Amino acid sequence: MILVIDIGNTNITLGVFKDNEIKNSWRLSTEITRTEDEYGIYIKNLLREAHLENEIKNAVICSVVVQLTEKIESAIKKYLSINSFIISHKIKTNIKLKTDNPSQIGADRIANACALAKLYKLPAIAVDFGTATSFDIVNAEDEFVGGIITAGMKIQAEALSSKTSKLPDLNIEIPKSAIGKNTIDAMLSGVVLGHATMIDGLIEECEKELGQKAYIVATGGYSSVISNYLRRKFDDINPDLTLIGAKILFDMNNIA
């Protein structure tokens, strides 16, 4: 079995693959101050409770948090006695990285793009609703041609409450209507419906540049919240897209 770890700015997602199927998954909050030992104990205990502690033969790390990449790699080595395969622009992929500076592409975006090329009809766009909302775009020639990065809904909500004196903290949820009859509903409408309108417009612009209609795949925690408000519906919602992409890359690089 293979342990895949996706280290994001807000959460760390762990998935255990048996062949090509995710058998177990967990989510931890991302805490830079946690020590190597803390992460090692957390991960080992999760695997032990699932009776998988002795089943993990390889590990894959897909990280956008530089401070934690080496720390968790060391934790896996210390507590599970296995080496980790690190996703980066330097490894073998099933796509061409056609950007100005491939070294600047986040590991999660590389994994998303590789999953698109493997699983879906091209051209395809992954819309990843994380701390940031990002578009990862693969054209019909199996080329990762770049994408879009903008503030995610959580960042927008936090900015409203922290930068204004009267607006409260906001939990992202489905708004009742476009016209909010109280402060919370008005904020939800602005964040969620505003985000949906932005997504629709950006997809339209990307397809103009691609010269054809794209297959749209959503991933990330807020994809289900926003899906009902889009004019252009997602062709698929795949919450495990990044984990699957990382596993595809692991297999492609012939790691035993």
Burial of 199 (0-12, 13-18, 19+ CB in 10 A): buried
- For 87-186, strand residue ranges (E) read 96-97, 124-129, 132-138, 143-151
Q: Is 108 a catalytic residue?
A: yes
Q: How far is CA 190 from CA 43, 56, 172, 205, in A?
A: 38, 45, 11, 22
Long-range contacts of the stretch 204-213 (C-beta < 8 A, 24+): 204/232, 206/125, 206/135, 206/137, 206/148, 210/123, 210/137, 210/139, 210/140, 212/123, 212/140
Query: Cα(86)–Cα(84) distance, rounded to whole angstroms?
Result: 6
- HSE-up of residue 133 (Cα within 13 Å, Cβ side): 23
**Which of 71, 5, 88, 83 has its CA nearest to residue 35?**
71
- Name which of 219, 185, 190, 228 is nearest 108 in CA terms: 219
Query: What token pair was written down for 156?
Result: 């927008």
In the three-class reduction of DSSP (H, G, I as helix; E, B as strand; rest coil), residue 232 is classed as coil
Secondary structure of residue 150 in the 3-state scheme: strand
**Active-site option among 19, 37, 108, 142:** 108
Quick check: 235 and 215 in contact, CB under 8 A?
Answer: yes
- Which residue numbers are catalytic? 108
